Amino acid sequence: MSSSVSSVTLKNSAELLQFSAMYNAEQLILSCIQFIVHNMAALLESKALDILSDDVLVELSVSYRRMIPAMQKRLITPYPDAPDLTVYEDVDSSFSSKADAELDYSCRYYTVYQTTVQHCGCISFQKLLRRSIPVMKEMG
């Protein structure tokens, strides 16, 4: 079994999970879920999980919340038609008139941003959070 577990990669983990769920291969399901949970950011960014059926996504969401208690309220949902972040650039300019270089990033929100970006490396997440920092600074 260890050879099949070592064969799980970022490219095939979602396919293996779907396949193992189809054939009720419990040990392979557990191995794939564990691998996916530990590599969730990369798999979400690459949209590799889009091929999973709704039943498998529900099982993955439950396992994700069970394995990472801080994510109790988070759900994994397929969202292939997500809006492009360029849509929000005009809205961004209305939040803050300061240039990026003028902003004070010493607040706790920027620390959370830095930590999260270093952890997941998600480019779209970086853009979204970078735009929301001035708003969060005004709130906090």
Domain boundaries, the chain: 2-71, 85-139
CA distance 49 to 77: 9
Separation of CA 44 from chain center: 5
For 2-71, CATH gives 1.25.40
CA distance 32 to 28: 6
What's the confidence (pLDDT) of residue 64? 87
More confident residue, 72 or 116: 72
Average pLDDT over residues 25-40: 94
What's the confidence (pLDDT) of residue 94? 56
More confident residue, 71 or 28: 28
pLDDT over 50 at 122, yes or no: no
Which tokens hold the place of 10?
Answer: 């970022």
75 SS3 class: coil
Say if residues 51 and 15 touch (Cβ distance below 8 Å).
Answer: yes
Instruction: From residue 64, give the alpha-carbon distance in Å to each of 28, 35, 69, 72.
Output: 16, 11, 8, 8
- Kindly state the percentage of the chain with pLDDT values over 70: 48
